[in-house]
Copies of this chain bind each other. A is one copy, B any other.
């Protein structure tokens, strides 16, 4: 490999960095980072999950989840409640404030997604999605 611009790891990192910055800018008005957004997103789908479930879905280390939850809790968007069935576990619940953000934050991130998609043909965008899914989430298909 003569040029770093031929290294897939490098290219993926830079593409991620760019899209992450677009999302960060879009979410800045709510004081939320992209990672905090995706964690909230999983809770909007299903409230009251365990930390380890969130980490599994988001492919994040437990230590990382702890930190993200700390910040979301400090902002008053989520709440840790003890799991009555397993005292090792907390269940993570959205606060009303956390629930309110679903619609507006999905709107601004949808705009970013459309911006990304608009750089390619529909066919290319779909292929990109399936290739990234295969690379990052292990399988070609959906989960």
Contacts and interface: CB of A to CB of B under 8 A. Distances in A.
Interface of A: 1-20, 22-23, 34, 38, 41-42, 45, 57-59, 106, 109-110, 112-113, 116-117, 119-120, 124, 127-129, 131-137, 142-143
B16 A136 contact: yes
Given A4-B41, A9-B20, A12-B20, 7 more contacts: A5-B133, A8-B112, A9-B113, A13-B20, A16-B16, A116-B135, A119-B135
A72 to B, nearest CB: 16
B12 A16 contact: yes
A19 B14 contact: no
A131 B135 CA distance: 15
